Structure 1
Amino acid sequence: MSPTPQQRRAARHQLGADPSASATRRGPSGGRKKPITVEAIISTAFGIVESEGYEALTMRRLATALETGPSSLYAHVVNKEDLDELLIGRLCAGIDLPEPDPAHWRQQIISVCTQLRDQYLRYPGISRAAFAAAPSNLDTLRVGEGMLAILLAGGIDPQAAAWAIDSLTLYVNAYSLEVSLADRRLGRSDDDWVVSRDELLRRFAALPGTFPRTKRYAAELTAGTVHDRFDFTLGLMIDGLPGSRRDL
């Protein structure tokens, strides 16, 4: 008897997925097309997200792209959440984790967060798949293990380090989602919602006197790129950790 999707999922978590494992196609086209594999599912899903955005990724849309029915997909994935876990795990597999260095731990943890951000930004909105999901994929857990090792090497209290990982990844997820949403607005034909910095400065200058600080510090409020703000926020979070110290 073939393993159930749940058994396949459990095997992936324990031993890693076998991308070559395939399921027989069902329906009149069965046998005339390439078999469905975990690798094919992941690759096709990423293609949909890259071209259409994460919101377009449904099991039905994925099945259509693979020229099969949803039932063929369920031979490999339990549900959409399982697919999400595979996608986030694949992105996490591309993160380079350094050997923890007490002298450079701050730079190292920022590098990991930046790599994760850049992975998410390759696929518009995909960081949404990481929200409210307990990490169980081995590749995802590998990143958490690496971040914990770096923070502990920096002298961070274990409990603070554990919660810091949650806070940092939550910020990276939210930041990446916001940037994806902003980029989508920029790509829309009705760009009335897109406001340039110059236009924002003009609007702030035209505010009534009941907004004295906003008017006075308009340049500061609108300064910097989104990545500048990303680096600033990471610095605030990391430097505020109990026992944290800057690179030596």
Structure 2
Amino acid sequence: MSPTPQERRAARHEPGAPPAKTRRGPSGGGKKPITVEAIVETAFGIVAAEGYEALTMRRLATALETGPASLYAHVVNKEDLDELLIGRLCASITLPAPSPSRWREQIIGVCDGLREQYLRYPGISRAAFAAAPSNLDTLRVSEGMLAILLAGGVPPQRAAWAIDALTLYVNAHCLEVALAARRGDADQWVIGRDEMLRRFAALPEAFPNTRAYAGELTGGSPGDRFAFTIGLMLDGLVRSAAG
């Protein structure tokens, strides 16, 4: 009996699992075989060119010049594909050997690495919000982050929740950047900083702080704000651990 789609998915998460068998599309031997690798690489190409929202199983099948049924021989569904994509990006993250004296710098480096990977593919961090924590490449990153935090003296429960908070923020930040870029390209309602400053300056007296600190409210690049927030979260983690 052939394995079920769920069994195929589970097998991919086993260490040392053999590569999935290839299957050709409906046209037979004239086209490149359909493999998990081909599916993942083609999916990344679609996201890089058109954004994550453009990635559907039908769109992917069209790009591979096959039918959706051929894809389901290798991936269970869109969620399974999302997990493969996020796992592939996580596999590119370098994890340092945990250092008690450099744990803060190391965690920031991992978060920066995730941000860099996600920003290569507009909107793909949306897939990370629901990605099941069973992919070995994804688990490798959380395992590495946990080891770093524990080496820094963070208690296990706080370390576990800190990983959740940090990765949620990285995902949300990257999604916001992608959505802002997309909207800025297509929506004339998006305004620049100079216009925002002008509007803040024109606010009534009921908004004294917004008027007074308009520069601070609108200042900084996305990268600046990202670094600030990660640092703020780690500062709070240190204080809470010491309390």
Within 1, Cα distance between the matches of 2:4 and 2:40?
19
Q: CA RMSD in A?
A: 1.6
Within 1, Cα distance between the matches of 2:15 and 2:6?
14
Tell me by how many angstroms 1:193 deviates: 2.1
Match of 1:207 among 199, 203, 211: 203
Q: Which amino acid is the alignment partner of residue 234 of structure 2?
A: I
Structure in which a larger fraction of residues adopt helix: 2
Q: Note if contact 1:100-1:149 (Cα within 8 Å) is conserved in structure 2.
A: yes
Within 2, Cα distance between the matches of 1:133 and 1:139?
12
Q: Note if contact 1:6-1:78 (Cα within 8 Å) is conserved in structure 2.
A: yes
Match of 2:185 among 171, 187, 202: 187
Within 1, Cα distance between the matches of 2:45 and 2:21?
20
Match of 1:220 among 191, 194, 216: 216
Q: 1:26/1:228 Cα in 2 relative to 1: closer, same or farther (>3 Å)?
A: closer
What does residue 94 of structure 2 align with? 96
User: What's the TM-score, normalizing by structure 1?
Assistant: 0.93
Tell me by how many angstroms 1:55 deviates: 0.6
Identity of aligned residues (%): 76
Tell me by how many angstroms 1:16 deviates: 5.2
Which ranges of structure 1 fall in alignment gaps of 5 or more residues?
A: none
Tell me by how many angstroms 1:196 deviates: 1.3
Tell me by how many angstroms 1:3 deviates: 3.6
For 1:1-248, what aligned pairs fall within 5 Å after superposition? Answer: 1-15=1-15, 18-19=18-19, 21-27=20-26, 29-188=27-186, 190=187, 192-241=188-237, 242-243=240-241
Tell me by how many angstroms 1:17 deviates: 5.7
Within 1, Cα distance between the matches of 2:34 and 2:4?
15
User: What's the TM-score, normalizing by structure 2?
Assistant: 0.95
Deviation per residue, 1:59-99 (Å, 9 max, x gap): 11100100000110011001110000000000000000000
Q: How many pairs are equivalent? A: 241
Q: Note if contact 2:75-2:81 (Cα within 8 Å) is conserved in structure 1.
A: yes
Q: Note if contact 1:59-1:80 (Cα within 8 Å) is conserved in structure 2.
A: yes
Tell me by how many angstroms 1:125 deviates: 0.4
